[in-house]
Amino acid sequence: MPRFKRGHAAAGWLAAAVLLTSGCTALDSSSADDAGEGASYEQAYADHEPLHVVGYPSTGSLRVVQELVWDIADGKVDELRKLATGDSGEAEARKTGENWIKAFGTGADGMVTGDFHDGGSERQVVVLYFHDTRQKAEFTVRLYGDTGGENWRVLMKSPDFKDATRTPGWAPKEPGGTGSRMKNNG
């Protein structure tokens, strides 16, 4: 069995690490590309301030709310409509998205905190606090379809401007004011 000098062993380990890392990167980017969203999500993340979070979101509920905020900030009605649950009619979802952009677009472009109430297993109420404009809004996100927890969508059934932009009277002035904890059912 040949003996390697320390420098050769280190170079071998380095080469193996580079190979493994590049393989993981390739796997990661290809799966993101297959989903058709990886690059756009990464770019949107780089272009916006990330959502500040209070409470207990699931990975899916957090992602859909983050996309919701970015699409509102960017004025992307069509992208918002794609986030709607299937039981939100297309015209209804489009009008709701337009209302949200008009009402919250300026605030969504700044610092936003999402206060995730209850557990995020199937449905979650989220109160967004738009810090620059001092607005807050309530959104409901939920699993949609049979995709094993990966397909979170936003309920968009408020085509009336007042209804779509109503301030939740029950929500505290500041994020986390109610404790934003999961309910203890036992």
DSSP result, 68-131: HHHHHHHT-HHHHHHTB-TTS-HHHHHHHHHHHHHHHHHHHTS-EEEEEES--SSEEEEEEEET
The terminus-to-terminus CA distance of the chain in angstroms comes to 62
Q: What percentage of the chain reaches a pLDDT higher than 70?
A: 72
**If you average pLDDT over every residue of the chain, what do you get?**
78
- Please report, as a single letter, which amino acid is at residue 95: K
| 50-164 is a CATH 3.10.450 domain | yes
Taking the model in full, what pTM does it have? 0.73
pLDDT digits (tens, 9 = 90+) for 35-46: 445 558 788 778
Contact (CB, 8 A) for 109 and 72:
no
pLDDT digits (tens, 9 = 90+) for 16-71: 333 333 333 333 333 333 444 555 878 877 888 899 999 999 989 999 999 999 99
Tokens for 184?
């203890």
